[in-house]
Structure 1
């Protein structure tokens, strides 16, 4: 069973959502918030779940590390530290604005480190790579997810379906207009 891997699921939800115009995590599809959707998919695959970059959430919250404003790398760094404190060796990350995550994402990304080629914010990371991320954040090198993925040797995984994401209200309306509120295996709602 995949839960034997001992994985922390981390929803990265610390962005400003400037293009969306309001708190994107609370936007609803089919009556369910994007945040609740992401947490539910990770709960089915991980031993524990947290939300990074928010003060309140339906599960434990974790702060970006070393500070807010570093984008996804600050969220991943906070999640890796939280997983280490919990004694979990892996972290599965996703952004809050990806409404249709595969229900077998851990399996598809195993072995770690690995990330989705088109959206590297969706990744399975090793807690052992905290030092790699710390070195990147302390360097003059570009602080990007691609730089971190390269530095830790993450494989790029092509999924059978495009994940998509919600950046604007138009994206949300388009997503709902395509009938994407219903569940579709192997992807969640």
Structure 2
């Protein structure tokens, strides 16, 4: 989980630093860096990663996976490219959650493979429209892409990386924290 970073300064040296002309923004960057220290090293060794979409998805679901990929590509230095037979796959399987992403790391702690499984639950939307009795496929895909860049589940309800999703809930977008973490890592 990426915790929220707050600009709280209670250090006795703060007044001295301000006299020296150092800005609060510099100190805030130090605080932000500390929040992402656990992510250092756990990233793709390349900023261009290929992926494949296996069978079992509707054409709309495949489009939604690609659309959510483009959202991460626009906001992060890492680019995910659709390319067949890569070993980095999206598939449909019977699992105990809406989505599951498994990352494989090498001895240098770099991500070398990612596999995402989306549950076969019939309540997961299979088209762009989501009813109040369905789980929003776009929100699930966007969340799982966050795991591809090694973001953790979050406790912030509005976040893409929020740990759960209710039926009928739509439009989980990337938060500033999600984008900041991605940019910090890459």
Q: If the length of structure 1 is used for normalisation, what is the TM-score?
A: 0.31
The structure with more radius of gyration: 2
